[in-house]
């Protein structure tokens, strides 16, 4: 009897190697299209946060947009609106836009 799967895949030993190559290709695709860009973006954000200065506009994980007034080791004091200030941990900052006005 004619078996189409054996014809396409070859012997069972070759099928095992083909499965390993296929799994390796899937991992490579995930790495280059998902893992690598995400880690690159995270490093960029960490660099921006470590170089934060007074007057920078920040966005926090909670969606707050504020202008930095004071920078400390692990936190920043930021003005959300005129006379309204809040302290945020640097780990809660998701974006930094240097020297942007809070308008």
| CATH number of the domain residue 88 falls in | 2.30.30.100
57 and 37 housed in the same domain: no
pLDDT of residue 20: 87
- Same domain for 40 and 70? no
Question: Using CA atoms, how far apart are residues 55 and 77, in angstroms rounded to an integer?
Answer: 11
Question: Has residue 1 been placed in a domain?
Answer: no
Is 58 in the same domain as 40? no
Asked whether residue 27 falls in the same domain as residue 61, the answer is: no
Mean pLDDT of 24-48: 93
Look up the domain containing 78 and give its range.
Answer: 52-97
* pLDDT tens for each residue of 38-56: 999 999 999 999 999 999 9
Return contacts of 46-53, CB within 8 angstroms, 24+ apart: 48/95, 48/96, 49/90, 49/93, 49/96, 50/90, 51/96, 52/76, 52/90, 52/93, 52/96, 53/98
Model pLDDT for residues 60-103, shown as the tens digit of each residue: 999 999 999 999 999 999 999 999 999 999 999 999 986 665 45
Span of 4-13, 25-34, 39-48, 56-65 with lowest mean pLDDT = 4-13
Same domain? 14 vs 39? yes
**What pLDDT shows up at residue 1?**
45
Number of domains in the chain: 2
Flag whether the pTM goes above 0.75: no
């Amino acid at each position: 009897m004619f078996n189409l799967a054996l014809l396409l895949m070859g012997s069972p030993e070759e099928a095992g190697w083909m499965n390993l190559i296929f799994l390796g290709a899937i991992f490579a695709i995930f790495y280059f299209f998902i893992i690598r860009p995400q880690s690159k973006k995270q490093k960029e954000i960490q660099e921006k946060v470590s170089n934060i200065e007074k007057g920078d506009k920040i966005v926090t994980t909670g969606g707050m947009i504020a202008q930095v007034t004071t920078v400390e080791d692990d936190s920043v004091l930021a003005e959300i609106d005129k006379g309204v200030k809040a302290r945020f941990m640097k780990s809660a900052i998701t974006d930094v836009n240097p020297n942007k006005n809070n308008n």
